[in-house]
Structure 1
Amino acid sequence: MDPLGNGDADEAGPDERVRPGPAPLAWIEKTGVDVSALAIIVLGVIITVSVLGRTFFGKMIPDDIVISGELMVTLVALPWAYVTADRGHVAVEVFTDWMSRGAQVWLELLAVIVGLVMVAPLTWATGVALWQAWDFGSYFDGVLYLPEWPGRLTFFIGFALMLVRLLFILVGDVGRLRRGPDGHDEVYF
């Protein structure tokens, strides 16, 4: 069993990876995916009702474009941590598949470090933007004067969860470097 309580990493098949980190984090990530799916459904309903209303009745949902934009932020940002946990981001594996398992682990560690270097300042920036939208009471011009903070909050949550997931992956990858490919105490450095 690994130190984070996720079972033995060696029990996983060659294409299966253990999700490093506490079980509540995996639940939160899955909930983010579910909320994202719900946002897609709501977005589709809003667009359909608004288009039908404009076409047949000359009326539309007030601020439908603002609502759609905020829902798009939600449906894009919340699944980031889930995709990160599966290492499901776009990757070019043409040459890395030819490398030894040790070299692959080092490259995966490098990818996580680069991800952390990019995501950490973005998380900070979205947190600042959230605070400013909340503190200033920013809102979108329109019929409903919708506040800006809910969209900023989901964007911040998406980045924050991805940052936390990357930290757990970093710890797991460093552990893999120490354990070696077969779970033995072979060190790759």
Structure 2
Amino acid sequence: MKLLLKISERLALIVLLIGGVGMIMSTFLGVADVVGTQVLNVPVPGPRELTESTMVLIVFGALTFAQIRRAHIRVEIAYLAVGPRFRAVMDVVTDVAAIIFFSLIAWQGLLEAQYSMKIGEATSGLIRFPLWPARFTLVAGASLIILRLVLDLIIDCGRIRSGEPQPAPSI
């Protein structure tokens, strides 16, 4: 269990860092395009297409990392007003709902990725980027957060029995 937690944390951190690099690249490319278009009258080809493709990595890297830190939005006033056992029950309900939600995203994303690869779907524009890698990235990102949610579900079920508070995030 501890090994799986460590692996999921490392993967989430790697995906978060890659997403951060993608965001920096998108930012610089966007600025270069604006300056090129407005100042030099020479637009940079491909910033929109690159940004569309890296958004999936940026979002899903952050989602899994936020789950590890238990930093998703919740009604703190209600959560903090109850004891540790009832907090664990609330966390279990949240974990199950999120597992269902991201499982549906992964399932439909996989179908879309397979279809996109089959038809050779690509972005429109000066530079044509294939869309199937971003769609498979979505499936991988959803699968990573599902893995983390399942691990958290196991921990939270144990917290219901023991009455222990939520463990502090390690990263």
The two structures share one fold, judged by TM-score above 0.5: yes
Q: Give per-residue Cα distances to partners, 1:76-131, cap 9 Å, x unaligned.
A: 12221111122111111112211121111111111111111211111111111111
Could you say which residue in structure 2 is the equivalent of 1:159?
142
Cα RMSD (Å)? 1.7
Contact 2:109 / 2:135 at 8 angstroms: preserved in 1? yes
Structure-1 separation of matches of 2:81 and 2:64: 28
Gaps of 5+ in 2: 166-171
Could you say which residue in structure 2 is the equivalent of 1:133?
116
SS at match of 2:76: coil
Could you say which residue in structure 1 is the equivalent of 2:168?
none
Contact 1:80 / 1:159 at 8 angstroms: preserved in 2? no
> Are 1:76 and 2:73 matched, yes or no?
no
Structure 2 counterparts to residues 99-110 of structure 1, below 5 A: 99-110=82-93
> Are 1:37 and 2:34 matched, yes or no?
no
Structure 2 counterparts to residues 46-61 of structure 1, below 5 A: 46-61=29-44
> Are 1:113 and 2:110 matched, yes or no?
no
Larger RCO of the pair (alpha carbons < 8 Å, separation 6+): 2
Contact 2:45 / 2:127 at 8 angstroms: preserved in 1? yes
Choose the corresponding residue for 2:2, options 2, 5, 9.
Answer: 5
Could you say which residue in structure 2 is the equivalent of 1:170?
153
Structure 2 counterparts to residues 82-101 of structure 1, below 5 A: 82-101=65-84
Contact 2:56 / 2:138 at 8 angstroms: preserved in 1? yes
Q: Give per-residue Cα distances to partners, 1:1-53, cap 9 Å, x unaligned.
A: xxx237xxxxxxxxxxxxxx332221111001111111111011100111111
Could you tell me the percent identity over the aligned residues? 18
User: Where is the helix percentage greater, Structure 1 or Structure 2?
Assistant: 2
Tell me: CA distance 1:108–1:133, structure 2 relative to 1, closer, same or farther (3 Å).
Answer: same
Could you tell me which amino acid in structure 2 is paired with residue 104 of structure 1? R
SS at match of 1:94: helix
Could you tell me which amino acid in structure 2 is paired with residue 95 of structure 1? A
Structure 1 position 168, deviation (Å): 0.8
